[in-house]
Structure 1
Amino acid sequence: MATSLSRSQDELRPQLGRNLTYGLLDRLGRAIVTGQYETQPFPTEAELTTQHGVSRSVTREAVKMLTAKGLLSARPRQGTVVEPTSSWNLFDTDVLRWLLERQFSVELLKQFNQLRVAIEPEAAALAARFASNADIEAIGEGLARMEAAEAGMDDTLEADIAFHVSILRASGNPFYVQFRDVVGTALRTSIRFTNRVKGRTANVADHGRVLEAIQARDPNSARTAMRALISDVLELIDAHENTPA
């Protein structure tokens, strides 16, 4: 009985360790990105271990992951230091999520949507040229989910994300497809922001025009329709920024 209990604990330990590591990663990453270490040195490994009540191995792994994301670096005679924003991997979904959670995230949303203007319209144009029937069907399913969400039968946020990500996949370009996690993560904040400001969900008809252009194999119309979608978001952000507090 005791042997069996010990074995069960041993099996659970790796999972617990992973949870602790990612919990510490999230806590430290958020602290770095929100500027908590701008006026004080980053703690040593021993200090982090004591402060957060975790083992040295958990601390070491979390710091290693933050270093890989560009947030930290180890320097001779300086120890572990926080890197400037210019060194952060902004395409890392954790870093992007932490950035979007900062108090002043509207400017970041604006910058992200400026990036979307450069990527998603071209992805839509490529989808109009190269998407398979299965790809187009997946885009149609995303639109159908958006329509269902309007009737309260699906999640509006997840449906909108599914539509946009399916177009990245339909482009047939692996570099565009790599943006799916970034787009998905950022849209979770961007869509919540725009829906809150507009007081309504995304315009399904506008999304439908993107699908129609792709189905018609019309790259120029697909590009124009997608650019209009994102430009609407940028205009909304600009209007929000210019509204007196």
Structure 2
Amino acid sequence: MVRIIENLNLSEQVTNDLGRAIVAGEYSCESGLPTEAQLCEEYGISRTAVREAVKMLAAKGLISSRPRQGISVEQPSNWNLYDTSVLSWLLDSSPSLHVLKEFLQMRLAIEPQAAALAAEFALDEDIAQIEKAVEAMRVAAVDPSASMHDADLAFHTSVLFASRNRFFFQLRDFISTALNVSIQHTTPAKANDVAVAEDHAKICTAIRNRQPERAKNLMTHLIDEAMTFIEAEIKRRS
């Protein structure tokens, strides 16, 4: 079934629809994809639009297209998980909790160090952005009309930026994409938005007070706690 998404051109629509189907297992290395002609007929678009979609899927590592061999679906190990579209499709699929666990493992390798670097190298305006995000979280914790979700995302991306490490900041879209799903599981599990906001505030204070080790440890604890919730949910569903 073709999924229609506003503001996407025809090639992007096909890319999105086929990408989701591949990640969900509807198409595999064994089954392959429909032929170019079949895709043209199914979507009612030109070969040019289909070929553009194939190029985009190939760039994401989901498929490969070779002369005289046609289009092949790639093994999941070849997928570009740093591509935010691929990550979104993965998180929308049934094994999303297992993907989130892997994502949290990666966050443990990055965000505590980013917090430590922020405590050392953040500019005053960087810290002001982190404080702004914390204040937004505190407001959202007691005001149902405010967005805790958006404020939480702003906090984590602000810490990445404040690290003054360009490689870390380049991960902001990747981190935000997975956090969009992760927060939906972990924040309700804690069942206390005020406590969630204050946990983030402690990290902010450590960064403001130029305490790298404390900032690192507090961020580690925050992510470890989320990991505990995800692992418990995986166990409950198994």
Q: Deviations over 1:73-97 (max 9, x none)?
A: 1134321101111111100000000
Match of 1:20 among 4, 10, 13: 10
Q: Tell me whether 1:34 sits opposite 2:24 in the alignment.
A: yes
1:90 and 1:79 map into 2 onto residues whose CA distance is 24
Match of 2:168 among 176, 201, 204: 176
User: Per-residue deviation at 1:238?
Assistant: 1.6
User: Per-residue deviation at 1:197?
Assistant: 3.5
Structure 1 gap segments, 5+ residues each: 1-15
Q: Who is 2:149 aligned against?
A: 157
Match of 1:192 among 169, 184, 206: 184
User: Per-residue deviation at 1:244?
Assistant: 6.3
Of all paired residues, the percent bearing the same amino acid is 46
Aligned residue for 1:243, secondary structure, equals helix
2:237 and 2:56 map into 1 onto residues whose CA distance is 41
2:7 and 2:169 map into 1 onto residues whose CA distance is 32
Q: Deviations over 1:103-138 (max 9, x none)?
A: 111111011001000000000000000000000000
2:233 and 2:67 map into 1 onto residues whose CA distance is 46
**Who wins on radius of gyration, i.e. which is larger?**
1
1:73 and 1:216 map into 2 onto residues whose CA distance is 51
Aligned residue for 1:89, secondary structure, equals coil
Structure 2 gap segments, 5+ residues each: 1-5
Q: Who is 1:231 aligned against?
A: 224
- The one-letter code sitting in structure 1 at the alignment partner of 2:151 is A
Q: Tell me whether 1:242 sits opposite 2:235 in the alignment.
A: yes
Q: Who is 2:52 aligned against?
A: 61
Aligned residue for 2:64, secondary structure, equals strand
Q: What is the number of equivalent residue pairs in this alignment?
A: 230
Going from structure 1 to structure 2, the CA distance change for 1:46 and 1:17 (only over 3 Å counts) comes to farther
